[in-house]
Each structure stands twice: as C-alpha cells, then as structure tokens.
Amino acid sequence: MLVVVCIKQVPDTTQVQIDPVTNTLVREGIPFIVNPYDTHALEEALRLKDRFGFRVAAISMGPPNAEATLKKALALGVDEAILLSDRAFGGADTLATSRVLSEAIDRLNRQEQVGIVICGKQTIDGDTAQVGPGIATRLGYTQLTLVDRVEKFDPFQGRITVRRKLEGRHETVEAPLPVLLTVVRELNRPRYPTVPMRLESEQATVQVWSNQELQLDQNGIGLKGSPTWVSRIFSPQREKGEIVGDGVADPAGAAHLLVDKLVSRDLLVV
Amino acid sequence: MKALLIGEYRQGKLLDTTYELKAFADRLGADSVMLLVGSDADLPKYEGRLYLADAGKYGEYNPDLHKQLVLQAVEKENPDCIVFVHSSYGWDLAPRVAVALKAGQVSEIVALNDGAYEVNACNAKLRRTVTPKGGLAPSGACPLAVLTIQAGAFSPSGEPQGAPQLERLELSGTASAIEFVGYEAAEQKGVDLSKAEIIVSAGRGVGKKDNVPVIAALASALGGELGASRPVVDAGWVDHSHQVGTTGQTVSPKLYVACGISGAIQHLAGMKKADFIVAINKDKDAPIGEIADVLVVADVMQFVPAFTAKCAR
C-alpha cells in the first residue's frame, strides 16, 4: 500500500512584510518553509511506514525551487518525492490545484494502490482549506478533515477510525479505505531529520512531472482552470490608538481617565 | 441574485451562526433560500423557503449524505451562490460541494469590499480580495460560487423573525461510507471566549504566575472573562482553554483589555476584531499599540490594581 502526502512550500508568514508605500507583499528575502500543518501530515505517514512498512510518496505542486521542500521530505524518510511543475499549472486557484494533484495521485495509484492520502488542514499562506477536500472529491476517496488522532487502523480490513477536532468537542468516525485525511497540529510531534538522512537526501532525486506526463486539458488547469482570482493583497488598517494619561507617574490618574473613556463608550457602568 | 444558505444543527440544536448566513445574504443584496439538516423541534426564524432534511435520518453531519442533500437543493433552486459558515461543518462540506459542482470557492469571507470578497491570508496578517470570475455570484451560470463566511463577521442587524415555508428533502438511500461513532467533549472543559463580551487578557508583562490573579480580578470587576497570550499559557501560568490567538480562540468581544501583551501577530489575529481594545503596556511602541484604541503606558502590576479599584467603586 502506498501512502501519499501532499505538501506545499509556503513563505514563512511570521516574517512576511508589507511595503508601507505600495501596501503589497514584500517577496524578497522571505524564507520558504514546508507548510507547518504538512509537517504533521508527513510525520503521520512516516509512522504508518514505521508500523506497517508502507511506502510513502510526497508530492508538491509548485515552481522549480519547491524541490527544496521535497528534499526535506526525503531527508525525513519518504521513499519517493515528486514535484508537479509546469508553467501551465501556474496561477491556479484551489480548484485547478486539486485537479493536478489528484491526477498525480491517480498516476501513482496505477503503479501501487494508494490507501491513504494525508494533507495538512490548510496552508498558512492561502488559508483556504479547500485543496485536500477537493482531491478527495475528485478521486472519490472518503474525506476525513481536521483529524487530531488516528484511533484505529486496520490495513487488512481496510478500515480506519479517526477522531476529528470540532468546536469544543471531538467526533469519532470510521471509514473504509482509500481515505484522504487533513490533519491538525495536535495529531503528532514531527521528527527531525538525522544528519546521515539529510546528507543522503542531498543526493536523492526529486522527480519532476510536467503536463507532458499528466496530459491534462489546459482548460482545467492553471489560470484558465481557475474560477476565482485574487485581485489584491493588502494589510488591514486600523487607526493607531491614543495614549491615555501617564500610567507610570500617576497610575490612579490614568485609571480614572480610562474609566471615564469606557463609561462614555457604554462599555463600563460604575 | 439568489443565495442558498446552509444552516447548521449540532447536538439537537440549531446553531445561532445560521442567522449570520442571512445577514450575509442581506449585505450581498441577495434573495435567499435555506437548507437545514435538522429537526422540526428547533427551526430557524426565517422568512422564506426552508428545505428541511431530518437529522435523525441523515445524521447531524454525514458528509456523503449532506453533500447529496445540498446538491439536491441546488438542482431545485439553481442558486448563484451557496453560503456556509466557516465552521468545522462548512470547512468539511463546502469544498466537497464546490468540487462536485466545479464551482469556485472563497473561504472564510470577513468582509464585502467593492465587488470582491475580503478574506484573511497569511495567518490573518494580510487580507486578500478574491472574486469569482464573472462577479460576486455569477448569475445563473456555472461556475456558481461556493462561499464560507467567518463566524462573527456578519452579525444580524436585529432579532431574526418569520416562519419558514417548509419543504422536505429526502434521499433515496442513506448508505454512506462514513460511520459516525460518537461525540466526546473536548478534554479541557474550556471557557468559550468567542461569546464573551468583555475579555481581559494576561501577557508576559504580568511577570509571574502569582500575578495572574490580579488580572483575573480585573476581569471579574469588569464582568468579563480571563484570556491569555500564548507565552503565558506555554509557561503554565494560565490554562490553554483561555488562550487567545491563532493557536487558541478567536474572539470578538465588545471590550478587550490586553495586559502586558506586546502583540505578536498570532495574538493579534485572534483578537483584533474586538470593538474596542485597551492595551496596558510599559512599551509605548509595542505592536499592540498599533491596533489598540487606547493605550496606557504603565507597569501592568502598578496600573491594573488601581484600575480595578476604580471599576469596582
């Protein structure tokens, strides 16, 4: 059985800066990382490999430099890494992205039966949470989102029981394979690559599949296959607040002014 | 323009967020119809057609069956857009529906902005405006738009009213691959800060665990709940159930008082929708000052007791 993990290279959003003049994203010098949720997806796949000896393939759609992300996956122990990269895939929204990824998974499935696909619950740059479910629907796999625990997994019966993290409670569901899971951070603690593995991964090859391999209709992929478009990206503005009183020299006086302010706004009754 | 609103029903009750869907449709200027997999025992107050399917039969959430029910309502109504709340329910169901219809999806809309939807990006540090090709809801055409709205972003203007015009939905079968095993309460019987009107949060600036009760006392003097930033929770000073921010709860109270919180992006993302933000911090240039309405430059442990005393007088 093959386990497939979908990963994405994303800008490290803790370091994202906005150009104050143009109010647009500054792209220079922002480091790229593996989408943090995807690292938990990778870890879960590797645990299945450790327990059952399944092979694990990591796939990613992105520009040629996303190869670095897949090398990291190889250093952690995935058996196969495939970069889906083609100019024709560029400018894709989530619908067009799930088209490419599901085709790649289908192609892998023809070589070795895919039992589980694991994705992070969302990416930290797009925040849409649509691609995982999109893949599941396209492939007809059972979709289990927001998984925070794999309760039971029986590859012989072909069934999996997971716990899903909902608002203020959990839900346990059971489903037949093949399944697609999207996972939350609470699921596991990702391992670090060992030094020998990291050195080895430097030499390992990341396969690159372009549309030459996938043969997808151009109308369903990239910009053309995308029913939504992003018109603008900007930083939400809020007026800077005023400083009330002198809280260092006169805390009581400042407290008095603050109370008055809250009372005048109907936020406090004294 | 016609919107199909997908209401939500959990553990035997209609969820209030269902009314936010109607508020969103009103803001969009759209006519609406609603679908609810719920029960006659708890129907929404709604003026319009309500497609009702029995949760006893189709589950409070069975992804396969609920998808089929939505698609059935789409076929009957031919809406221009389908709107969900961006809860775990909409999270799971909306993209299934979108891909089944080959529709574009816009997730977690926080505002309407001149012919485009505004959504969060990069952990809510940035906003994006996204438009389905052909407009907000491309009229009568495929691809129609599947939308999810952020809970709390579109509040109903008044008390919801009206009695829905019921139409029952049935599926020919109830076979599904997914089997519901059970619910389980979250381990930490947490505080639901998302509903609190007043939140007073403790940050690293409170200095040590022994000082947390001082902040809690202010919270109780104001009639609010205690919140906390991540470092304070990580240090074990306050339980995780009180954490505000991207790895905690997202809140939108009327009043948010940040005590000794510098304002890391992850924290700001969780509380910046508060109507009124008071920051108490010894550094006047701390990032929290950028979004606060009022900043008190002071040592938290000196100022907060004085403030609490004035509030409680």
Residue B176 lies in a domain: no
Q: Are residues B157 and B21 in the same domain?
A: yes
Task: Tell me whether A261 touches chain B (CB under 8 Å).
Answer: yes
Q: Are residues B118 and B52 in the same domain?
A: yes
Encode pLDDT of B212-240 as tens digits.
999 999 999 998 999 999 999 989 999 98
Residue pair A27/A19 in contact (Cβ under 8 Å)? The answer is no
* Mean pLDDT, residues B274-291: 91
Q: Which residues of A touch B152 (CB under 8 A)?
A: none
Mutate to test the interface with A, among B71, B113, B181 (most CBs of A within 10 A): B181
Q: Is B244 annotated as a binding residue?
A: yes
Cis check: omega of the bond before B95, within 30 degrees of 0: no
Could B107 and A259 be called an inter-chain contact, meaning their C-beta atoms sit closer than 8 Å? Answer: no
Q: What is the mean pLDDT of chain B?
A: 89
Q: What angle do CA B108, B109, B110 make, to 5 degrees?
A: 110
Q: Which residues of B touch A268 (CB under 8 A)?
A: 222, 255, 311
Q: Is B230 annotated as a binding residue?
A: yes
Q: Which residues of A touch B106 (CB under 8 A)?
A: 228
Residue B90 pLDDT > 90: yes
| Nearest residue to A243 via CA among A253, A223, A228, A258 | A258
Ranges of chain A with pLDDT below 70: 18, 20-25, 27, 236-240, 270
Could A143 and B293 be called an inter-chain contact, meaning their C-beta atoms sit closer than 8 Å? Answer: no
Encode pLDDT of B144-182 as tens digits.
789 999 887 888 888 888 999 999 999 998 888 888 888
Residue pair B177/A176 in contact (Cβ under 8 Å)? The answer is yes
pLDDT above 70 covers a percentage of chain B that reads 94
**Position B273: which residue type?**
K
Q: Which residue of A has its CA nearest to B61?
A: A171
Q: Are residues B145 and B223 in the same domain?
A: no
Could B184 and A133 be called an inter-chain contact, meaning their C-beta atoms sit closer than 8 Å? Answer: no
CA dist A48 and A51 (Å) reads 5
Mutate to test the interface with B, among A37, A137, A151, A186 (most CBs of B within 10 A): A137
Provide the CA A200 distance to its chain's centre, in angstroms: 26
Which candidate from B104, B116, B120 shows the least CB-CB separation from A93?
B104
Q: Which of B135, B168, B201 marks a domain boundary?
A: B168
Q: Which residues of A touch B181 (CB under 8 A)?
A: 161, 172-174
Q: What is the pLDDT at residue B285?
A: 87
User: How crowded is residue A74: how many other Cβ atoms within 10 Å of its Cβ?
Assistant: 22
Q: B263 Cβ partners below 8 Å, 6+ apart? A: B279, B286, B287, B288, B289, B290, B291
Encode pLDDT of B128-138 as tens digits.
888 777 665 54
Q: What is the DSSP track for chain A?
A: -EEEEE--EEE-GGG-EE-TTT-SEE-TTPPEEE-HHHHHHHHHHHHHHHHH--EEEEEEES-GGGHHHHHHHHHHT-SEEEEE--GGGTT--HHHHHHHHHHHHHHHHHHS-EEEEEEES--TTT----HHHHHHHHHTPEEEEEEEEEEEEETTTTEEEEEEE-SSEEEEEEEESSEEEEE-GGG--PPPPPHHHHHHHHHSPPEEE-HHHH---GGGSTTTT-SEEEEEEEPPP-PPPEEPS-TTT-HHHHHHHHHHHHHHTTS---
Q: What is the pLDDT at residue B140?
A: 42
- Rg (C-alpha) for chain A, rounded Å, is 23
Q: Are residues B160 and B275 in the same domain?
A: no
Task: Tell me whether A51 touches chain B (CB under 8 Å).
Answer: no
What secondary structure letter does DSSP report for B243? B
Residue pair B130/B106 in contact (Cβ under 8 Å)? The answer is yes
Encode pLDDT of B98-107 as tens digits.
999 988 899 9
* Mean pLDDT, residues B68-77: 96
Q: Are residues B15 and B155 in the same domain?
A: yes
Q: What is the pLDDT at residue B142?
A: 44
**Position A89: which residue type?**
F
Banded pLDDT at B246 (limits 50, 70, 90): confident
Q: Which residues of B touch A265 (CB under 8 A)?
A: 276
Q: Are residues B153 and B213 in the same domain?
A: no
Residue A203 C-alpha, separation from nearest chain B C-alpha, in angstroms:
33
Residue B180 lies in a domain: no
A2-220, CATH topology level? Rossmann fold (3.40.50)
Q: What is the pLDDT at residue B135?
A: 60
Banded pLDDT at B139 (limits 50, 70, 90): very low
Cis check: omega of the bond before B143, within 30 degrees of 0: yes
Q: What is the pLDDT at residue B137?
A: 53
Residue B134 structure tokens: 């052909």
Q: Are residues B23 and B155 in the same domain?
A: yes
Task: Tell me whether A36 touches chain B (CB under 8 Å).
Answer: no
Which candidate from B99, B181, B311 shows the least CB-CB separation from A134?
B99
Residue B185 lies in a domain: no
CA dist A134 and A63 (Å) reads 21
Encode pLDDT of A170-189 as tens digits.
899 999 999 999 999 889 99
Residue A132 structure tokens: 């995982």
Encode pLDDT of A89-123 as tens digits.
998 888 999 999 999 999 999 999 999 999 999 98
Q: Are residues B32 and B125 in the same domain?
A: yes
Provide the CA B111 distance to its chain's centre, in angstroms: 13
Task: Tell me whether A28 touches chain B (CB under 8 Å).
Answer: no
Encode pLDDT of B4-34 as tens digits.
999 999 888 999 889 999 999 999 889 999 9
| Nearest residue to B144 via CA among B69, B47, B93, B75 | B75
Q: Which residues of B touch A248 (CB under 8 A)?
A: 282, 297-299, 302
Does this model's pTM top 0.80? no
CATH of residue B141's domain is 3.40.50.620
Residue B177 lies in a domain: no
Q: Is B94 annotated as a binding residue?
A: no
Mutate to test the interface with B, among A267, A269, A270 (most CBs of B within 10 A): A267
Q: Are residues B236 and B123 in the same domain?
A: no
Could B282 and A248 be called an inter-chain contact, meaning their C-beta atoms sit closer than 8 Å? Answer: yes
Q: Are residues B132 and B64 in the same domain?
A: yes
Which candidate from A94, A227, A233 shows the least CB-CB separation from B128?
A233
- The domain spans of chain A are 2-220, 238-270
CATH of residue B222's domain is 3.40.50.1220
Residue B43 pLDDT > 90: yes
Determine whether B40 is exposed, middle or buried from the number of CB atoms within 10 Å of its CB (0-12, 13-18, 19+).
Answer: exposed
Task: Tell me whether A1 touches chain B (CB under 8 Å).
Answer: no
Residue B267 lies in a domain: yes
**What's the domain count of chain B?**
2
Q: Are residues B102 and B8 in the same domain?
A: yes
Identify the domain containing residue B228 by its residue range: 193-311
Residue B141 pLDDT > 50: no
